Copies of this chain bind each other. A is one copy, B any other.
């Protein structure tokens, strides 16, 4: 009898890709070795033939997501638009796969492919005229801001009962919270509006450019 044929194609990569799909659909909390194995139509312990433990599998999931969106090529662009594209892409990738944030938070990923974006960013900042140290610090700041933005991008899967802030904002005593009591809803709406990430990113790039000009000694 012809089998479904799923098991015959089992590999580290196939398992990681399926895990990423599971993550996108059900979230990090729901991803267990037992459920992933069931999804793949194999016994739970089969997965341990491909990965030492769950952490090693999650590392492979991060790599699978990284491979999905290669670091863009420079193609002669100026440092600033290129750097901006690097980080907008990283932000989009993390927002597309929100589960990755939790994985990378628990234990920083240090693989060669994870360093590709770092290399590209440092190169761009060197071209901008920053010293090695200023470039390293500036890229780290951009990375941390991008990661923080993605971490707070969406209350993962359940906005069930309306905006969770509304009741709290309405209850703030105006004497102690003059701004939020009056305009809290607008403030919160601004935060989740499109362009918020890019706004902060452009602030950082403004400051980096200003310092680069200073270092250059040009007027």
Please list the residues of chain A having a beta carbon within 8 angstroms of any beta carbon in chain B: 101-102, 105-108, 110-112, 115-116, 118-119, 122-123, 126, 132-133, 136-138, 140-141, 143-149, 151-152, 155-156, 164-165, 168-169, 171-172, 176-180, 183-184, 186-187, 190-191, 196, 199-200, 203-204, 206-208, 210-211
Task: Report B-chain residues with C-beta under 8 Å of the C-beta of A133.
Answer: 186, 190
Task: Report B-chain residues with C-beta under 8 Å of the C-beta of A180.
Answer: 115, 118-119, 122
Contact A200 B148 (CB under 8 A): no
Task: Report B-chain residues with C-beta under 8 Å of the C-beta of A106.
Answer: 102, 156
Nearest first, the 6 closest Cβ-Cβ pairs linking A and B are A148-B148, A141-B200, A144-B148, A203-B207, A206-B207, A207-B207
Interface pairs (10), CB distance under 8 Å? A102-B106, A119-B180, A136-B191, A137-B196, A144-B200, A145-B200, A203-B207, A206-B206, A206-B210, A207-B207
The one of B140, B145, B190, B210 that contacts A144, using a Cβ cutoff of 8 Å: B145
Contact B155 A196 (CB under 8 A): no
Identify whether the interface residues of A are mostly helix, strand, loop, or mixed: helix
Contact B151 A147 (CB under 8 A): yes
User: How far is A190 from B125 in the complex, measured between Cα atoms in Å?
Assistant: 15
Q: Nearest Cβ distance between residue A107 and chain B, in whole angstroms?
A: 6
Residue of B whose beta carbon sits closest to that of A126: B179
Given known contacts A119-B179, A132-B186, A155 and B108 CB-to-CB distance under 8 angstroms: yes
Q: Nearest Cβ distance between residue A30 and chain B, in whole angstroms?
A: 13
Residue of B whose beta carbon sits closest to that of A203: B207
Not counting A200-B204, A206-B210, a sample of 18 additional A-B residue pairs whose C-beta atoms are within 8 angstroms of each other reads A112-B168, A112-B171, A112-B172, A115-B168, A115-B184, A119-B180, A137-B200, A141-B196, A141-B200, A144-B145, A144-B152, A147-B148, A147-B152, A203-B211, A204-B207, A206-B207, A206-B211, A207-B210
The one of B119, B147, B204 that contacts A176, using a Cβ cutoff of 8 Å: B119
